Amino acid sequence: MARESRVRGPMTPSKADAWSSPILHADLDAFYASVETLSDPSLKGKPVIVGGTSSRGVVTSASYEARKFGVRSAMPTSRARRLCPGGIFIQPNFAAYTEKSRAVKEVFTSMSPLVEPLSLDEAFIDVSGSHRMWADPPTMAEALRWRVADQTGLVVSVGVAPNKFLAKLASRRAKPDGVVVVRPGGIEDFLSPLPVDELWGVGEQTSAVLRKLGLTTIGEIAAVPRSTLERVLGATGTHLANLARGKDERQVVPEATRRSVGAEETFQEDLVGETEICQALLKLADRVSSRLRGDGISGQTVTVKVRFSNFATITRSRTLRYEIDNCTGFYGVARQLLAGALSNEPGRSRIRLLGISASSIKQWPAAEQLTFDRQPRWIEADRALDKVRARFGDDALGFGSLMGDE
């Protein structure tokens, strides 16, 4: 499949551009919508919107034709219909998306064994050991795009950089259908003009604090002494000072060496009431348990992560006598852990982020014993839930307590 090269960024390396730990962030363009178009070529060039089609549905993917109308992922379907009345709305087919995702992953692993999937449509790839096969990382990124298009029919945008943080920022600017390169010698030039909310961890509250300090770009943050940021923002100041200078020490963790499965969410507005906190926790438990069952594994250790509005972060864990893979089990343990954590943190009742993870991973079937929460009828209910979601999408069926008011 012939493709036009669309590398954005300087292609001629300088002496300061020696790559020591090049990382690619590959992100498939409008993945779900693209898979639907491959399945039905008559959809090509049309505003395709994938997601829950009910009044409570949420958009999971939109073609670029639909995005011209302002349709975006995570937008309520009802609003998407108002913005794009001529849109073609399709229920998600996760079985098809999973199959395509596996095909794409095969392309990734054919170029490097160090692949860390983030979701069905994106992954980090460490290519530091591939220098003998390719002229340089940007050349490898272009080859990756061509192979994905040729073998799967999908389009992937790629960011190339010395670390994960920069690679993901670059891939965002590579869309659609391109490559953006952040060379080791060009980090400051790339980051300086970007707005502060491009930094991971900067939400509305932190952004407001930074604006009060007169800081609106990443370059301005980098120019401020680290001690000043730490005095104003505490540990968050240290975190932002490192990112603003392009520092990120996280390594690419291949899926084969993963030891946990987790889910977390940062909320636009802090959680305060017990009901909304418990609903958020149940939603996360459902996501983790579904992923475990989908991968045919189970977990014996449950961990809860809490980040408060002041960015203080704590974790609490418990290892069970047997491994589990069900939502009710994870939710019950996680709720107990969270209650204990909050009781020891007076004055920190506003929650910015919640997360649940399962570790001590074992292959299914689990050795868990039947309890009141885990009678045979619940096992059958879990299996039925997975089957319905596999066919009709994640929004098709869920827990009644997660359903909001009409």
Known active-site residue 106: no
Pick left, alpha or beta for residue 28 (phi over 0 → left; psi -120 to 50 → alpha; otherwise beta): beta
Residue 358, exposed/middle/buried by CB under 10 A (0-12, 13-18, 19+)? buried
Residues in the chain: 406
C-alpha distance from residue 149 to each of 1, 13, 62, 158, 399 (Å): 7, 27, 19, 13, 39
From residue 80, alpha-carbon distances to 91, 118, 313 in Å are 14, 26, 35
Q: Which of 122, 142, 323, 368 is catalytic?
A: 122
176 within 8 A of 29, measured Cβ to Cβ:
yes
List b or e across 107-143, with b for residues whose CB sees 16 or more CB atoms inside 10 angstroms.
bbbebbebbbbeebbbbbbbbeebeeebebbbebbbe
Instruction: Kindly list the catalytic residues.
Output: 122
